[in-house]
């Protein structure tokens, strides 16, 4: 496994170089496009040497995507994203972010899951309603990784940027908890206890928030006490992330939510006058570099997943239809969320369209899909998820700048 992970990091570095030198696309999009091209080249080897193709496929299938993402990458990526967020700006938009990340995820899960169930039935694919809701839960969270740099380049207003990125950071944690809750329902053999799921949901989300609060203030205090030793401060922040995420998993609480809260608290403390410029620079550079390296690794992994998919025209058709479902449900949830917001915080028609198109899906959705029990249902969901994620990152990612510019001019 170690050799495979090292190879993935090396491939990510090479593809990042090719993108910077030749494609000159936003890194996440460029690396993903190149990794898909690499996967297609490997797939083409089937027509030249089938035994070589089988070896490559076996290696790709041996990659434990879920373990790499959930036990390692996710905590680092969420903390790195949160540490650079303006906490004061986020608190101004806290109601909007909270509603989008909770109410929005729940409503989106129901809309997508229900439509997915009926459409799958129409084209002859056998999938239960609960597993359709599982798909709705794993595809509903938006990805903060893919969209932040694109929004800045597009010149989106600061408040809109905070809404989208803040929502993305929090709904990853919420989406994972919803996914696990519905999956528990779908895989129950004995009679199901609703109280049990409600309790687990509260423990995961509430426990994650409390853990993040404690870790954030612990890190904040420790970093402040070594103000003149920037390298030690960076080391402390890394220990908070890796150790805190592992501890959250042991306690069965949401490590994703914990890392977001801890990142926001520690990131906000770096702007205090008592913090030296040297320490602030070290922290910002370290987490920016780590963020970009692991982002590249994540999108290479997404590209590699393509090798493991067996072509099925009906699965592909359902995936293409799911693109429309995901976009439509995103727009509907934003409109419905307006009824829960003050008039001043509501998104107008053009803002709703921007929020819809900027709601990119990413690696977390694929990792959740790959974590499902083996079988035909998993194959259907993984295929649909992959199609949605690839379209989201490439098509939406490449066009978001033009969409934002065009719609903002009409406001």
Q: What's the rounded Cα separation, in Å, for the pair 141 and 180?
A: 13
pLDDT in tens, 223-276: 999 999 999 999 999 999 999 999 999 998 999 999 999 999 999 999 888 999
Sequence-ordered list of residues with C-beta below 8 angstroms from that of 58, at least 6 positions apart, any chain:
none
Delimit the domains of the chain by residue range: 2-410
pLDDT at 411 over 80: no
Distance between CA 350 and CA 175 in Å, rounded? 26
Q: May I ask the CATH architecture of the domain 2-410? A: Up-down Bundle (1.20)
- CA R_g for the chain: 21
What pLDDT band is residue 105 in, cutting at 50, 70 and 90?
very high
Collapsing DSSP to helix, strand or coil, 85 comes out as coil
Higher pLDDT, 286 or 411: 286
Q: What is the pLDDT of residues 128-156, one digit of tens each?
A: 999 999 999 999 999 866 566 667 666 77
Q: Is 342 helix (H, G, I), strand (E, B) or coil?
A: coil
Q: How confident is the model at residue 112 (pLDDT cuts 50, 70, 90)?
A: very high
**Two structure tokens written together for 85:** 């967020």
Mean pLDDT, the chain, whole residue set: 90
At residue 194 the predicted structure's pLDDT band, cuts being 50, 70 and 90, is low
pLDDT over 70 at 189, yes or no: no
Q: Residue 190 pLDDT > 60, yes or no? A: no
Q: Which two tokens mark 251? A: 């306690």
Percent of the chain with pLDDT over 70: 94
SS3 label, residue 279: helix
For the cut 70, the answer to whether the pLDDT of residue 158 exceeds it is: yes
Listed in sequence order, the residues at least 6 apart from 355 whose beta carbon sits closer than 8 Å to its beta carbon are 160, 163, 164, 330, 334, 347
pLDDT digits (tens, 9 = 90+) for 293-304: 998 898 899 888
Q: Quick one: pLDDT at residue 59? A: 87
Do the beta carbons of residue 256 and residue 78 sit within 8 Å? yes
pLDDT tens, residue by residue, 322-364: 999 999 999 999 999 999 999 989 999 999 999 999 999 988 8
Distance CA 389, CA 395 (A): 10
Name the pLDDT band for 198 (thresholds 50, 70, 90).
confident
Whole-angstrom Cα distance, residue 114 to residue 261?
32
Q: Confidence class of residue 191 from pLDDT cuts 50, 70 and 90?
A: low
pLDDT digits (tens, 9 = 90+) for 17-49: 999 999 998 888 899 899 999 999 988 888 888
Confidence of residue 405 (pLDDT cuts 50, 70, 90): confident
């Amino acid at each position: 496994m170690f050799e495979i992970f090292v190879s993935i990091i090396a491939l990510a570095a090479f593809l990042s170089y090719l993108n910077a030198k030749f494609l000159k696309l936003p890194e996440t999009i460029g690396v993903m496009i190149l990794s898909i091209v690499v996967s297609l080249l490997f797939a083409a080897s089937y027509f030249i040497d089938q035994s070589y193709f089988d070896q490559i496929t076996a290696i790709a299938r041996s990659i434990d995507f879920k373990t790499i993402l959930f036990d390692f990458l996710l905590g680092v990526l969420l903390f790195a994203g949160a540490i650079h967020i303006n906490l004061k700006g986020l608190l101004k938009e806290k109601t909007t972010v909270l509603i989008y990340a909770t109410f929005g995820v729940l409503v989106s899960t129901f809309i997508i899951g229900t439509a997915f169930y009926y459409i799958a039935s129409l084209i002859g694919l056998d999938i239960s309603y609960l597993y359709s809701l599982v798909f709705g839960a794993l595809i509903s969270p938006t990805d903060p990784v893919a969209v932040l740099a694109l929004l800045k380049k597009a010149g989106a207003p600061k408040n809109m940027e905070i809404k989208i990125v803040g929502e993305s950071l929090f709904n990853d944690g919420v989406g994972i908890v919803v996914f696990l809750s519905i999956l528990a329902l779908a895989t129950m053999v004995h009679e199901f206890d609703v109280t049990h799921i409600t309790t687990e949901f509260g423990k995961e989300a509430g426990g994650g928030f409390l853990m993040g609060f404690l870790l954030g203030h612990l890190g904040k205090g420790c970093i402040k006490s070594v103000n003149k030793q920037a390298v030690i401060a960076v080391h402390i922040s890394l220990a908070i992330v890796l150790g805190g995420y592992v501890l959250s998993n042991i306690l069965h609480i949401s490590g994703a939510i914990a890392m977001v809260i801890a990142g926001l608290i520690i990131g906000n403390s770096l702007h205090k006058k008592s913090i030296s410029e040297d320490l602030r620079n070290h922290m910002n550079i370290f987490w920016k570099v780590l963020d970009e390296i692991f982002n590249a690794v994540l999108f290479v992994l997404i590209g590699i997943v393509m090798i493991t998919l067996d072509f099925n025209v009906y699965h592909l058709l359902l995936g293409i239809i799911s693109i429309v479902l995901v976009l439509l449900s995103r727009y509907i949830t934003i409109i419905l969320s307006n009824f829960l917001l003050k008039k001043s915080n509501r998104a107008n028609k053009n803002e709703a369209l921007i929020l819809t198109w900027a709601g990119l899906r990413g690696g977390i959705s694929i990792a959740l899909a790959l974590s499902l029990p083996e079988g035909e249902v998993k194959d259907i969901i993984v295929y649909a998820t992959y199609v949605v994620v690839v379209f989201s990152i490439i098509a939406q990612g490449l066009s978001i700048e033009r969409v934002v510019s065009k719609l903002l001019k009409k406001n």
